[in-house]
Amino acid sequence: MTAPVIEFRGVALDYPGPPPVTALKPCDLEIRQGEYVTVVGPSGSGKSTFLNLAGLLDLPSRGRYLLDGIDTAELADGARTALRGRRIGFVFQSFHLLPHRSAAENVALAMLYAPAQGHLGAADRRARAEAALAEVGLAHRAGALPSRMSGGERQRVAIARALVNRPSLLLCDEPTGNLDSATAESVLALLETLHAGGLTIVLITHDQQVAARAGRTVLIRDGVLREVAAV
């Protein structure tokens, strides 16, 4: 068995309100290295809350979160930010690329926020960015601006950016939500290739068909997280 990447032990998140809301009820969850897990649930069920906690963007109100065995509650803010930069790659529905920077520049910028890569000079960052773009099939588009790219290409750039620091975990928030079905298919196929190469992926979606493609699915409903039995 591989080591856990995500370990939630009684993790919960309360918003004080008014009115107070428990957006995620206390839950235990273990996601191991190399797993591909989808998280599904209706709007307002707690998916973003889960993503923000798993991505170290929010702190649990209760419980403990271990990322790669590191108890994140023990960390000061700067150390938590550094851990996030090094270990987690994010992919969002709306890509979040800088419009006036080329694909390679968008990818290279991610290295500035990961201290382990911070010592790299500009030429090395550029070379790594180009290698990450090649990994997602976009070597030939390194100099292109996002505004000149299709939605599928933009999402591939975002995936390259998420991969460039060699994270332990790829967190994807509705990565195909802005794409037509053929493009969505190619992005999902890319994620599946990355998973086959050993990457740990957690993908949030409201689309049952997208969810069903992963080996394991977790359902959140009214802030309650539970495993979906394999069919």
Q: Please report, as ranges, the residues that interact with ligand ADP according to CB under 6 A.
A: 15, 21, 23, 41, 43-49
For residue 66, count other CB atoms closer than 10 A to its CB.
Answer: 17
CB-based contacts of 18, cutoff 8 Å, min separation 6: none
Look-up of token digits 């591939």: 156
DSSP codes joined into one string, 138-172 = -GGGTT--GGGS-HHHHHHHHHHHHHTT--SEEEE
User: Residue 88 or 114: which CB sits closer to ligand ADP?
Assistant: 88
Question: What distance in Å separates the CA atoms of residue 29 and residue 103, rounded to the nearest whole number?
Answer: 35
Are the beta carbons of 143 and 102 closer than 8 angstroms?
Answer: yes
User: Residue 49 or 165: which CB sits closer to ligand ADP?
Assistant: 49
User: Residue 44 or 215: which CB sits closer to ligand ADP?
Assistant: 44
Report the DSSP beta bridge partners of residue 220. 225
Cis peptide before 16 (omega within 30 of 0): no
Give me the least distance between CB of 18 and ligand ADP, in Å please: 10
Give me the least distance between CB of 31 and ligand ADP, in Å please: 18
Q: In angstroms, what is the C-alpha Rg of the chain?
A: 18
User: Residue 45 or 72: which CB sits closer to ligand ADP?
Assistant: 45
Give me the least distance between CB of 94 and ligand ADP, in Å please: 15
Give me the least distance between CB of 24 and ligand ADP, in Å please: 7
User: Residue 51 or 194: which CB sits closer to ligand ADP?
Assistant: 51
Give me the least distance between CB of 211 and ligand ADP, in Å please: 13
Give me the least distance between CB of 121 and ligand ADP, in Å please: 40
First to last CA, the chain: 22
Are the beta carbons of 67 and 83 closer than 8 angstroms?
Answer: yes
User: Residue 129 or 172: which CB sits closer to ligand ADP?
Assistant: 172
